[in-house]
Amino acid sequence: EPEAAAIATRPGASGRKMGLVVDIGGGTSDFSLFEVGRGGRINILTNQGVTIGGTDFDRLLSVDHVMAHLGRGGALRKEFGPGVLTAPQAVFADLATWEKIPFQYGPKALRAARDMRALALEPDTFDRLCTLLEYELGHDLAFAVERAKIGVNANAGQAARVEMGFLAPGLSAEFSHAQMQASLAPTTDRIRQCARETLRAAGIAPARVDHVVYVGGSSLLKPVSEAIGADFPAAEPIYSSVFTAVTDGLALAA
């Protein structure tokens, strides 16, 4: 796949060129350093990867900007005696994690949510949590977060709106491009570090990379491409075949 992506976007100029394929999908970020040799032959020098992708970005945005509307961080009265406790965090973290969402449905989880609602100082937020669990709307919420992420990425000057009318009439949450960048910082830092390790493994200095090929929808996310681009300021970013580079390259090589 990395070789196919490189073939699809290799420069037409003669002479050797050094490129980096940045392939970021739903669950992984993969890097391949390659050299364009004589006759346009692609030589893969190193490969590295990290298990971070688009669903991780969505999870962080959901936890930081959405889950408070379902009760995350909410105060619960103690069942016995005075005082309050903070609502348990696990259910909100799991509902923000794509692959864990189906495991939150069932009588036990719904009963726990209703118990929290009964003790909550702000029961309306936990009522939304109960609605989500009862009607199994976890992935509807995940899709809403993803749409907002795509929207604010396309228009950095306008806040993203996560529409949650399916949980309560008129309910929504917002986050700005700057807030998205702050939320994703832990993951973009790890992705950037993996790109650096890819070059170190081959003994290649970043200044020798003259083009970076972005593949996969999540590579279009500005906090990601900006983090990677900061290490390769002289390299040409190539986005022309983000969704088709692999298939285009395979066709050209056939």
Q: What is the pLDDT of residues 40-91, one digit of tens each?
A: 778 899 999 999 999 999 999 999 999 999 999 999 999 988 999 999 999 9
In this structure, are 101 and 217 located in the same domain? no
What region does 53 belong to: left with phi over 0, alpha with psi -120 to 50, or beta? beta
pLDDT at 167 over 50: yes
Residue 221, SS3?
coil
CATH number, position 235:
3.30.420.40
Residue 74 sits in the same domain as residue 134: yes
Cβ(101)–Cβ(142) under 8 Å?
yes
Residues 78 and 175 in one domain: yes
With CA atoms as reference, report the closest residue to 76 among 128, 112, 103: 112
Give the model confidence (pLDDT) of 187-214 as tens digits.
Answer: 999 999 999 999 999 999 999 998 898 9
Both 95 and 160 in one domain: the answer is yes
Does 163 lie in the same domain as 133?
yes
Query: Can you spell out the DSSP letters for 157-195?
Result: TS-EEEE-TTTSTT-EEEE-HHHHHHHHHHHHHHHHHHH
Give CA–CA dist 195/208, Å, rounded: 14
Residues 120, 195 within the same domain: no
What DSSP designation does 120 have?
B
Q: pTM score > 0.85 for this model?
A: yes
Give CA–CA dist 137/12, Å, rounded. Answer: 49
Quickly list DSSP for 104-160.
G-SHHHHHHHHHHHHHBSSHHHHHHHHHHHHTT-HHHHHHHHHHHHHHHHH-TTS-E
Which of residues 140, 162, 181 is at a domain's end?
181
Q: Which of 164, 181, 198 is the last residue of a domain?
A: 181
Same domain (yes/no): 156, 194? no
Same domain? For 156 and 249 the reply is no
Q: What is the mean pLDDT of the chain?
A: 89
Query: Do residues 132 and 104 both lie within one domain?
Result: yes
Helix (H) or strand (E) holding 72: none
Asked if residue 61 and residue 43 are part of one domain, the reply reads: no
Q: How many domains does the chain have?
A: 2
Instruction: For residue 137, count other CB atoms closer than 10 A to its CB.
Output: 19
State the DSSP H helix or E strand holding residue 212, giving kind and residue range, or none if neither: strand 211-215
Cα gap 74→72, rounded to integer Å: 5
- Give the structural domain span for 192: 2-53+186-253
Q: Which tokens in the block code for residue 219? A: 């590579």
Q: Reduce the DSSP state of residue 61 to 3 states and report it.
A: helix
* 48, 59: one domain: no
Residues 112 and 176 in one domain: yes
Q: State the Cα–Cα distance between residues 140 and 119, nearest whole angstrom.
A: 27
pLDDT band at residue 177, thresholds of 50, 70 and 90? very high
Domain boundary among the residues 132, 162, 181 is at 181
25 Cα distance to chain centroid: 9
